[in-house]
Amino acid sequence: MFIYSLPLLFTSIGYITKLDLFLIALGLVIILYFMSFFSEKDTQKKSLNNYLLSAWLGEVDLKWVFYPFFVILNVCLYAADTSAKIGLLTVSGWDDIHLIFFLPTIWWVVSTWECSKNTTLSIGAAGGRFLTLCVLFEYGLKLLIRIDYPRIFFECSELLLDYGSCF
């Protein structure tokens, strides 16, 4: 996460500085940490029957919702970004991969927020919620790069069939 997009934000795009982003992130972590004190704690043992629906409704432990999808999402998006960066993946193929992962990401964000009450650590609930916001911010950065700055990310000289997407 943020391996290719954050350096582009600071060097080529320049909408925000590193200090600004750090202060925003710190403020978000503090707000989410204090929000976790006010949510109802539910530490009963949950079953994994009908996992997708149970996670959506907040009936699964946070670790079973957060970690598996977070790892899979980051590995797949890193592979897609690396492939696009070196010219093995076209711009439209890169778009397709991100679109394919967008709806499962929405499920994951809602499930993580709902299941964050199923942990005993307030920092775990705040951290899970903060990282879901980071993933949504990453998607926003990639959309900005795709629409406004495709030539700084994609290897446009290599793409003969999809050269029009670089403008």
44 pLDDT above the threshold of 90:
no
Task: Tell me which of 58 and 163 has the higher pLDDT.
Answer: 58
Give the model confidence (pLDDT) of 6-27 as tens digits: 888 888 888 888 899 899 999 9
**Cα 107-141-130 angle, rounded to 5 deg:** 50
pTM: 0.83
Residue 135 CB coordination number (10 Å): 21
152 pLDDT above the threshold of 90:
no
pLDDT-based confidence at 42, cuts 50/70/90?
low
Average pLDDT, the chain: 85
pLDDT at 100: 93
Closest C-alpha to 104, from 164, 29, 52: 52
